Amino acid sequence: MEYIFGYFLARFDCPHEIYYINEELSDKLSKTFACPMLKTYQVREQRGNVITTCNLPQFNVSALNIQDLIDWIKERILECSSLLWNGEASDVKFTLMWANQMLQGSEGVCHTHKRNIDGVAIFYQSVPLYSGDLVFIRNGQQGTSYKNYSDIDLCFQHVKSGLLVIHDKSLPHAISTHMSSDPRISLIFEFKYIS
Ligand SMILES: [Fe+2]
């Protein structure tokens, strides 16, 4: 656990590969991202060839049948509560969950998570070589590219399959250009602590 530009950040490696690399999950994710309506659906945090289920209630991450993974993520979020929330939480409520797939040439533009939440967790399900990395931006402005900032204001976080990142909702972040011809898939969880 650490602080980047004054904001909380934690990284955890999931030791249970079977939780996120298995045939059922791959199949469900492939079917999800193949849905034609997602091809034209865009949210403001993305640029280029990104497919997201964000804010689409018909795509429920729970339907991916990954309860073991979700339980593991919850435990890690609870471990962060004293630093991220200033208290010992008894439970975690996921207020919004979605899946993102980045394709070659896409990037995520700078944003914070503005909803009424206590933090954000990102689980990297599949990260091929030459994937986009998570980029934190000092005083990053909504909707801008990380390429507009000088190196001193950028903090690149290399990501890999099985990594969980938990961060303060107000830490500005983006995703660097995804250079692989294979997709990069992540699951995003916005959460609130329960006392
Ligand atoms: Fe984000």
- Ligand 1 centre and the CA of 26: distance in Å? 23
Centre of ligand 1 to C-alpha 173, Å, is: 6
Element (H, E) at 54: none
Q: Report the number of distinct structural domains present in the chain.
A: 1
* Strand positions, DSSP E, the chain: 2-4, 7-13, 46-47, 50-52, 91-102, 107-111, 119-126, 134-137, 154-157, 163-167, 173-175, 184-194
pLDDT band at 162 (very low <50, low <70, confident <90, very high): very high
The answer to whether residues 64 and 152 touch, using CB atoms and an 8 Å cutoff, is no
pLDDT in tens, 55-92: 777 777 878 899 999 999 999 999 999 999 988 999 99
For the chain, the average pLDDT equals: 92
Distance 118 CA to ligand 1 centre (A): 13
CA dist., res. 144 & res. 128, Å (int): 25
Q: Is the pLDDT of residue 47 over 80?
A: no
Residue 94 belongs to domain with CATH number: 2.60.120.620
Please give the distance, rounded to the nearest whole angstrom, from the Cα atom of residue 188 to the centre of ligand 1. 8
Residues 81-120: b if buried by 16+ CB within 10 A, e if exposed: beebbeeebeebebebbbbbbbbbebbbbbbbbeeebbbb
What are 174's two structure tokens?
């983006």
Domain region containing 162: 2-194
Give how far Cα 190 sits from Cα of 58, 152, 181, 185, Å.
17, 28, 28, 17
Give residue 78's identity as a one-letter amino acid code: L
At residue 63, the pLDDT reads 84
What's the gap in Å between 111 CA and the centre of ligand 1? 6
For 8-45, what is each residue's pLDDT tens digit?
999 999 999 999 999 999 999 998 888 887 776 666 56
pLDDT (0 to 100) of residue 51: 82
Q: Which two tokens stand for residue 99?
A: 């899946």
pLDDT value of residue 46: 64
Run of H or E including 37: helix 36-39
From the CA of 14, how far away is ligand 1's center (Å)? 20
State residue 43's pLDDT score.
63
pLDDT number for residue 81:
95
Residue with tokens 């990104």: 50
Better-scored residue on pLDDT, 48 or 54:
54
Reply yes or no on whether the pLDDT at 133 is more than 70: yes
Q: Please give the share of the chain, as a percent, with pLDDT higher than 70.
A: 94
Phi and psi at 127, nearest 5°, equal -130, 95
pLDDT tens-place string over residues 97-115: 999 999 999 999 999 998 8
54 pLDDT above the threshold of 70: yes
